[in-house]
Amino acid sequence: MRLILGSASPRRKELLAQIGVVPDAILPPDIDEDPQRGELPRPYCLRLAREKALAVDAGPDDVVLCADTTVALGRRILGKPRNAGEAAAFLVALGGRRHSVITAVAVRRGERLWLREVVTAVKMKRLSDVELNAYLSSGEWQGKAGGYAIQGLAGAFVPWISGSFTGVVGLPVAETAALLAAAGWPVHGGCA
């Protein structure tokens, strides 16, 4: 039995290490992550986590762990910005408002699939032009849902969250530990 992490995210690997879990292989699947027409954020996030888990090539006893993190402003999905202009638009839209960060986790072993979503409410302050331009210049927005990483420089822009900090980073560790344990993977981090 092997644990396969279906994600290239170094943050997800670090979060797993916090609970004593080290993947045997890292095999990020290549799937289409575009939202379907009219798709809402929560179903979108769950669909992507499920599709990622099903797309990873694994043996019948292997445990596959995949996740997807989506930033939602109401019914609007703010994915990974394509460029600095889109990142700026996302950050301006989020400024001074509460939004949701949804992380869906999928664990697969053989034909069985376990899914869990964690929704965290986040408030970002309004950014000054200086703050916005400095953040965009850092490049940290690249590859990040909503255009920001709470565990990095943007942590200074978030005065309040209600929910799972690790879920906002990209992998809610308590829920992930419980899913891994349900799939028969030994978790010794004390969370399962």
What residues are labeled active site? Answer: 68
Contacts of 10 (CB under 8 A, 6+ apart): none
CA distance 20 to 121: 27
Taking a C-beta distance cutoff of 8 angstroms, is the pair 188, 117 a contact?
A: no
Given CA atoms 23, 172, 161, 38 in this order, what sign does their dihedral have?
positive
Residues facing residue 115 across a β-bridge: 106
Counted residue by residue, the chain has a size of 192
Q: In the structure encoding, which two tokens stand for residue 155, read together?
A: 């942590």
Residue 162 structure tokens: 């209600």
- Separation of alpha carbons 105 and 114, rounded Å: 8
